[in-house]
C-alpha cells in the first residue's frame, strides 16, 4: 500500500500540472501514455511493438490521436484518418501473406482493435481538455471516487460477487457504492467549478460515467485474464502498467464527450 501511495503522489505531481497547462506538453504526454498503453496491449498477446506490425500499429495510433485543432497535418495532403486506416488494414493483411500466416488474421484484428481501444480514450482525453480543464478533473475525480467507494464499501459490506469469472474481488455492493460516491463527489464539484450542467443532468451523467468506468475496468480485467497476465505492465510500482491505471478513463472520456 505504501508503494502504491508513493507512486500515485509522484505521478500526480507530474501529470496534473501538465493537464492544467495543456497545449503542446499535454498532447505530447497523451501520445507518450497512449504509445506505452498500446505496447502493453500488444505485449499481452506476445507481439513486440518494435516489429513491422507493431510499428504499423503505432503509426496508425499516432494518426488516430491527431487532435481536431491540428488535423490539417494530414488533410492538407488530401487524406482523412479513415483513408489512412484503410491503408493500414491493407498493409496488415499483406503482411499476413508475407509471413505465411505467422502473423495471421486474428493478429490483424487484435492489432486494429488495440489501436481503437487505446486511441479512442486518449483522443477524447485531448478533446475534453479543449472543452475545459474542469471537465478533465471532473472525469478524474469521478473515477477516483468510484474506485475508492467500490473498494471500501465492497470490503465493508460486499457479499454478492459482481463478476467472479472476470474479477473475483468485485462485489455488487461495491459496484453500487462506487456509483453513490461518484455522484456525491460530482455534486460537491459543482460548488467549486462550473460544469455547465443542471443538477438532474449532472447526477444522471455522473452515474452513467461511474457505471461505464467500472465496465472499463472489467474489460481490461477480462483481457488480462484471457491472456493470463496479472498486470498489463510494471511501469508504475504498486499499480501495474499504464492500461491498469487508465482502463476506466478509456471508457469514461469518450462517453463524457458525447454526453456533453
Taking only the tens place, the pLDDT of each residue in 39-76 is: 999 999 988 899 999 999 999 999 999 887 776 666 66
Out of 13-17, 111-115, 211-215, least confident range: 13-17
Task: Find all residues with CB under 8 Å of 247, minimum gap 6, and list them.
Answer: 216, 217, 219, 220
Mean residue pLDDT across the chain: 88
Ramachandran bin of 80, using left for φ above 0, alpha for ψ from -120 to 50, beta for the remaining angles: beta
Q: Is 172 exposed, middle or buried (0-12, 13-18, 19+ CB in 10 A)?
A: middle
Maximum pairwise Cα distance, the chain: 61
CB 185 within 8 A of CB 145: yes
- The pLDDT score that the predictor gives to residue 32 is 94
Structure-block grid coordinates of residue 229? 497476465
- Would you call 168 helix, strand, or coil by DSSP? strand
Structure-block grid coordinates of residue 221? 480485467
Angle at 144 between CA 138 and CA 149, to 5 degrees: 120
Q: Is 240 exposed, middle or buried (0-12, 13-18, 19+ CB in 10 A)?
A: buried
- The pLDDT score that the predictor gives to residue 13 is 84
Amino acid at each position: 500500500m505504501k508503494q502504491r501511495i508513493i507512486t500515485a503522489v509522484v505521478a500526480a505531481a507530474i501529470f496534473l500540472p501538465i493537464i492544467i497547462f495543456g497545449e503542446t506538453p499535454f498532447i505530447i504526454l497523451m501520445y507518450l501514455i497512449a504509445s506505452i498503453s498500446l505496447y502493453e496491449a500488444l505485449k499481452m498477446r506476445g507481439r513486440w511493438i518494435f516489429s513491422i506490425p507493431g510499428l504499423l500499429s503505432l503509426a496508425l495510433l499516432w494518426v488516430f490521436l491527431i487532435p481536431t485543432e491540428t488535423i490539417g497535418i494530414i488533410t492538407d495532403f488530401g487524406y482523412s484518418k479513415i483513408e489512412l486506416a484503410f491503408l493500414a488494414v491493407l498493409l496488415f493483411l499483406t503482411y499476413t501473406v508475407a509471413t505465411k500466416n505467422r502473423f495471421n488474421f486474428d493478429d490483424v484484428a487484435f492489432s486494429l482493435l488495440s489501436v481503437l481501444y487505446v486511441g479512442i480514450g486518449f483522443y477524447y482525453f485531448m478533446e475534453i481538455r479543449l472543452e475545459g480543464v474542469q471537465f478533465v478533473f471532473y472525469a478524474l475525480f469521478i473515477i477516483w471516487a468510484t474506485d475508492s467507494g467500490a473498494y471500501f464499501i465492497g470490503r465493508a459490506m460486499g457479499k454478492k460477487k459482481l463478476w467472479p469469472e472476470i474479477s473475483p474481488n468485485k462485489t455488487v455492493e461495491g459496484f453500487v457504492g462506487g456509483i453513490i460516491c461518484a455522484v456525491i463527489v460530482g455534486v460537491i464539484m459543482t460548488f467549486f467549478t462550473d460544469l455547465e450542467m443542471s443538477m438532474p443532468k449532472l447526477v444522471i451523467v455522473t452515474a452513467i460515467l461511474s457505471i461505464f468506468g467500472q465496465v472499463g475496468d472489467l474489460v481490461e480485467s477480462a483481457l488480462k485474464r484471457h491472456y493470463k497476465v496479472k498486470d498489463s505492465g510494471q511501469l508504475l510500482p504498486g499499480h501495474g502498467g499504464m492500461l491498469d491505471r487508465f482502463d476506466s478513463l478509456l471508457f469514461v472520456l469518450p462517453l463524457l464527450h458525447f454526453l456533453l
